[in-house]
């Protein structure tokens, strides 16, 4: 197959890990006889520096014409004191909106070889296997008004949590479709005892559930979900929630298994292209040191092979190679524990390629 991949390395370690993932994809192409065409675009701080915008139109156009998008990471202290519209994160929010990436998927699973890097006890995380599905283009992130006003001499401010029914429906449906192929359980997280939007969310979840009789639906309040995630993460299969709750809970989930530097994500739209990125940020403190963990980016590329290109065997080959490299004891700094083999970003990539 021939595939066009838009590559947006971004800032900080984004560049290093993206480079690694592309080498792995080239190796996959050679082994399985595919042709991947990589086109590079600017996003984030790099784009601000180069052309004065965190997401130039050329980048958007290029992404729209590609079969899938790979994103590294954006942001860094250099741009932290810029006005809001000139901050790297804006590029991220804008590409989500432009590509209509309404659902962010984050699988979290237990790696026996990494259990020691987790802050949780082994008994608690052993066997964890969940997917967080976060609504990504609505809610407080994009609702209007979002502004300050002065009334009777006092500053006040408002942000708006806004959803259309159809926006809730499509992401909840996706969660049910995923659950059908997994353990058959959807946990829908809301704050229905306080928010009107959550009461509607709950109703939509109930009505979607009727179409999926083989999937069990449970509702959970967001505060309780924040507790259960730590107390008993094994109880979850697919968790679906709105944008802001999803931002918080998926970051909480990402540290459970001690493998933050290993976690990929996929952001889906109705018509494609989809976007793939590691969960970790741009980590400016270790930029250019050849110590970043490239596995989350490599596993994001594997998700792309599977979800965007339908290349199941290829995706599995990459995932297996990653597992074998871990089993062989190779570790970047973030997941290093006593007795293992210290590996640089490049060495880790080489090992994965060699194992492929």
Ligand X SMILES: CC(C)[C@H](C(=O)O)[C@@H](O)C(=O)O
Residues forming the annotated binding site for substrate?
A: 96, 106, 134, 223
Question: Over the range 240-269, which residues count as b (16 or more CB within 10 Å of their CB) and which as e?
Answer: bbbbbbbbebbeebbbbbbbbbbbbbbbbb
- Name the binding residues: 76-89, 96, 106, 134, 223, 247, 251, 281-293
Judged by beta carbon distances under 5 to 8 A according to partner kind, the member of a second copy, ligand X, none in contact with residue 51 is: none
| d(C-alpha 174, C-alpha 240), whole Å | 9
1 lies in the binding site for ligand X (CB under 6 A):
no
Nearest approach in angstroms of CB 68 to a second copy is 25
Asked if 335 is part of the footprint of a second copy (rule: CB under 8 A), the reply reads no
Distance, CA of 56 to CA of 353 (rounded, Å): 33
CA distance 222 to 249: 8
Maximal CA-CA distance, the chain: 69
Should residue 216 be labelled a site residue for ligand X when binding is judged by CB under 6 A?
Answer: no
181 is catalytic: no
In 3D space, the residue among 349, 326, 330 whose CA is nearest the CA of residue 340 turns out to be 330
Is 199 a residue that touches a second copy (CB under 8 A)? yes
Per CB under 6 A, which of residues 141..200 are in contact with ligand X? Answer: 193-194
Looking at 1, 166, 328, 354, which residue binds a second copy (CB under 8 A)?
Answer: 166
Residue tagged active-site, from 49, 251, 327, 342: 251
Please report whether residue 89 would count as binding ligand X according to CB under 6 A. Answer: yes
Can 110 be counted among the known catalytic residues? no
CA dihedral over 45, 51, 56, 59, signed as positive or negative: negative
115: burial class by Cβ within 10 Å (0-12, 13-18, 19+)? middle
Task: State yes or no: residue 93 binds a second copy (CB under 8 A).
Answer: yes
Q: How many of the chain's residues bind a second copy (CB under 8 A)?
A: 56
The interface partner of residue 244, options being ligand X, a second copy, none and the CB cut-off 5 to 8 Å by kind, is a second copy
Distance separating alpha carbons of residues 170 and 64, to the nearest angstrom: 21
Q: From the candidates 49, 64, 147, 223, give the one annotated as an active-site residue.
A: 223
Catalytic one of 19, 185, 247, 346: 247
Which residue from 52, 181, 196, 271 is in contact with a second copy, where contact means CB under 8 A?
A: 196
Give residue 83's region: left, alpha or beta (phi > 0; psi -120 to 50). Answer: beta
Instruction: Select the binding partner of residue 231 from ligand X, a second copy, none (C-beta < 5 to 8 A, by kind).
Output: a second copy
Q: How far is CA 260 from CA 36, 162, 201, 233, 255, in A?
A: 28, 31, 29, 16, 6
> Is the four-CA dihedral 190, 196, 197, 201 of positive or negative sign?
positive
The single residue among 13, 21, 68, 92 that binds ligand X, judged by CB under 6 A, is 92
Contact string 72-91 vs a second copy (x = CB under 8 A): ------------x--x-x--
Q: Which residues bind ligand X (CB under 6 A)?
A: 89, 92-93, 193-194, 223, 247
By annotation, the residues acting in catalysis are 141, 191, 223, 247, 251
């Amino acid at each position: 197959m021939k595939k066009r991949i838009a590559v947006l390395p971004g800032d900080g370690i984004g560049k290093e890990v993206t480079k690694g993932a592309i080498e792995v994809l080239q190796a996959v192409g050679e082994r399985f006889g595919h042709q991947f065409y990589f086109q590079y675009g600017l996003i984030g701080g790099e784009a601000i520096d180069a052309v004065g915008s965190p997401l130039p139109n050329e980048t958007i156009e290029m992404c729209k014409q590609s079969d899938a998008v790979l994103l590294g990471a954006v942001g860094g202290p250099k741009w932290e004191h810029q006005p809001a519209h000139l901050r790297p994160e804006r590029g991220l929010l804008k590409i989500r909106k432009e590509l209509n990436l309404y659902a962010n998927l984050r699988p979290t699973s237990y790696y026996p070889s990494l259990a020691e890097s987790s802050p949780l006890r082994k008994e608690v995380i052993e066997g964890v296997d969940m997917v967080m599905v976060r609504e990504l283009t609505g809610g407080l992130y994009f609702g209007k008004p979002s502004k300050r006003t002065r009334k009777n001499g006092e500053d006040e401010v408002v942000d708006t949590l806004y959803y259309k029914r159809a926006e809730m429906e499509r992401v909840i449906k996706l969660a049910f479709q995923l659950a059908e192929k997994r353990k058959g359980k959807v946990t829908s997280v809301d704050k229905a005892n306080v928010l009107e939007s959550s009461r509607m969310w709950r109703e939509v979840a109930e009505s979607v559930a009727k179409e999926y009789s083989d999937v069990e639906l449970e509702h959970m309040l967001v505060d309780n979900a924040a507790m259960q995630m730590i107390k008993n993460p094994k109880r979850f299969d697919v968790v679906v929630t709105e944008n802001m709750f999803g931002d918080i809970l998926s970051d909480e989930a990402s540290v459970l298994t001690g493998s933050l530097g290993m976690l990929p994500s996929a952001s889906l739209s109705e018509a494609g292209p989809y976007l793939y990125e590691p969960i970790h940020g741009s980590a400016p403190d270790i930029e250019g040191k050849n110590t970043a963990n490239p596995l989350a980016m490599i596993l994001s590329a594997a998700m792309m092979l599977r979800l965007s290109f339908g290349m199941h065997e290829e995706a599995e080959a990459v995932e297996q190679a990653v597992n074998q490299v871990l089993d062989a004891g190779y570790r970047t700094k973030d997941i290093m524990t006593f007795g293992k083999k210290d590996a640089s970003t490049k060495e880790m990539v080489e090992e994965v390629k060699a194992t492929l």
